[in-house]
């Protein structure tokens, strides 16, 4: 016997019945986003490394520490995508999608890759659900994106949702704040964590995103970004808050919220749900009005978000999870000496009526067939014995109720709720 091969560290197999939950979550995403006019986009897992260096930012941990990057046979530097906003923006520019009716609304669902220490809810191959709106700079787009997210999370059963909201301003506002933050932090450089000392030179705003407790203490007296906002950035943010007020969405303004990627401008947000503990943020996103131009396209605003699907499913409310795993599967079994082929004939007839059928294809004893049906989560078992075959009837056993009744074959579809 050969040596067993295990899944690569940091990756995992998703197995039934858990995959039914993933399918239900993704179906809810497609239905909710579709109701807002979004269409699905699918971009390659593999991209030119330069795409992420220019968009996500060379000073970020993602590019500096976490990307899976390699050189191919022709000497090109390629990377497995660590996020998809840059890929969507690249596709938008490459295919001239600015000529399509704007704004363009797209969503994606798929695997992404980052090299980080595997832990609960974090994997080196992880999955994201995200959406991007390209071509509208108005605060109403920010508001609608957040409303769509709140609706989606509510469909999944999350309660006590609160939007954590901030603005990082436009380029002019950020540059003014950058100088103010540098003036405050430079005299305290030695007290900063090594990562923050590096960021002090490359991108001081990223220090606000530090997880180091010592950095948090130093930042308590730091100037606030809102003190440096120009009138245009201030009015935009106030309009977004006004939209959430009008729609009754709970939110809090978090002045330290900057998100971890360099391309964000103006509105940034996270959404939290009550009862999830310290790691209560379910989704994050924001506006990135300069990204398309940075990647060689015409100046065009954008806003989007990404949800870590692995963690989303880990914290999914039980009611949605249980509903996703509930099945009304029907088993069809021929009782010997009736041949198993008879079960397949009836199974195909029932599938024609939109019923999910597990056909017993082996010549099993009744006891063995019922045991297998129970383990498979079957609700009803349709039995074809000698007497039923002679009379044109079937016996239907309800495994949940423990009851059984015999009926004409022509009544079976309506009894089982077929043609739904």
Q: Where are the alpha helices (H) located in 120-159, listed in sequence order? A: 139-155
pLDDT number for residue 420: 42
Q: In 3D, which of 85, 86, 121, 118 has the Cα closest to residue 285?
A: 85
Instruction: Say how far apart CA 222 and CA 355 lie, in whole Å.
Output: 63
Every domain of the chain with CATH number 3.30.930.10 lies at 18-170+230-321
Predicted local distance difference test score (pLDDT) of residue 278: 53
CATH number of 327-416: 3.40.50.800
Give the pLDDT score at 419: 42
* Range list of β-strands (E), 279-389: 281-287, 302-308, 330-334, 357-359, 380-384
Q: Report strand pairing: 302-308 vs 330-334.
A: unpaired
Q: Coil, helix or strand for 165? A: strand
Residues 127, 59 contacting (CB under 8 angstroms): no
Which among 236, 251, 30, 42 has a CA at the least distance from the CA of 146?
251
Residues of the chain with CATH 3.40.50.800: 327-416
Residues 172, 173, 178: CA angle, nearest 5 degrees: 100
pLDDT in tens, the chain (420 residues): 788 999 999 999 999 889 999 999 999 999 999 999 999 999 999 999 999 888 776 656 666 678 899 999 999 999 999 999 999 999 999 999 988 899 999 999 999 999 877 777 679 999 999 999 999 999 999 999 999 999 999 999 999 999 999 998 888 888 888 888 888 888 888 888 888 888 877 777 778 777 788 887 888 888 888 888 999 999 999 999 999 999 999 999 988 787 656 678 889 999 998 766 555 788 999 998 888 888 888 889 999 999 999 999 999 999 999 888 877 789 999 999 999 999 999 999 999 998 889 888 888 888 888 888 888 888 899 999 999 999 999 999 998 888 999 999 999 999 988 544
Per-residue pLDDT at 418: 54
Report yes or no: 192 and 218 within 8 Å, Cβ to Cβ. Answer: yes
Q: In terms of CATH, what superfamily is 18-170+230-321? A: Bira Bifunctional Protein; Domain 2 (3.30.930.10)
SS3 181: helix
């Amino acid at each position: 016997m050969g040596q067993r091969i295990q899944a690569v560290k940091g990756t995992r197999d998703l197995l039934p019945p858990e995959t039914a939950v993933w399918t239900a979550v993704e179906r809810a995403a497609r239905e909710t986003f579709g109701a807002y006019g979004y269409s699905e986009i699918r971009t390659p897992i593999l991209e030119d490394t330069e795409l992420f260096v220019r968009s996500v930012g060379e000073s970020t941990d993602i590019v500096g520490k976490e990307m899976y990057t390699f050189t191919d046979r022709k000497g090109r530097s390629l990377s497995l995508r660590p996020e998809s906003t840059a890929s969507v923006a690249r596709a938008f520019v490459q295919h001239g999608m600015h000529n399509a009716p704007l704004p363009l609304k797209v969503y994606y669902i798929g695997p992404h890759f980052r090299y980080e220490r595997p832990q609960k809810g974090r994997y080196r191959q992880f999955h994201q659900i995200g959406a991007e709106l390209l071509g509208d700079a108005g605060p109403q787009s920010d508001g609608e994106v957040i409303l769509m997210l709140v609706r989606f999370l509510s469909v999944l059963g999350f309660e006590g949702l609160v939007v954590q909201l901030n603005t990082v301003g436009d380029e002019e506002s950020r540059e003014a704040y950058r100088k103010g933050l540098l003036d405050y932090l430079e005299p305290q450089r030695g007290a900063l964590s090594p990562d923050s000392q590096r960021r002090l030179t490359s991108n001081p705003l990223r220090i606000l995103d530090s997880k180091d407790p010592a950095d948090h203490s130093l930042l308590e007296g730091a100037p606030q970004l809102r003190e440096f906002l120009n009138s245009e950035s201030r009015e935009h943010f106030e309009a977004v808050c006004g939209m959430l007020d009008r729609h009754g969405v709970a939110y809090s303004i978090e002045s330290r919220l900057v998100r971890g990627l360099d391309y964000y401008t103006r509105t940034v947000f996270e959404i939290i749900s009550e009862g999830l503990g310290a790691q209560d943020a379910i989704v994050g996103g924001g506006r990135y009005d300069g990204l398309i131009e940075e990647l060689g396209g015409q100046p065009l605003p954008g806003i989007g978000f990404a949800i870590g699907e692995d963690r989303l499913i880990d914290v999914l409310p039980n009611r949605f999870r249980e509903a996703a795993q509930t099945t009304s599967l029907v088993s069809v079994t021929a009782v010997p000496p009736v041949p198993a082929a008879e079960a397949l004939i009836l199974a195909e007839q029932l599938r024609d009526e939109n019923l999910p059928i597990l056909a017993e294809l082996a010549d099993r004893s009744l006891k063995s067939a019922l045991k297998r049906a129970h383990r498979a989560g079957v609700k009803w078992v349709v039995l074809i014995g000698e007497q039923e075959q002679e009379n044109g009837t079937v016996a239907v056993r309800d495994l949940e109720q423990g009851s059984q009744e015999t009926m004409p074959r022509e009544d079976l579809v309506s009894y089982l709720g077929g043609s739904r």
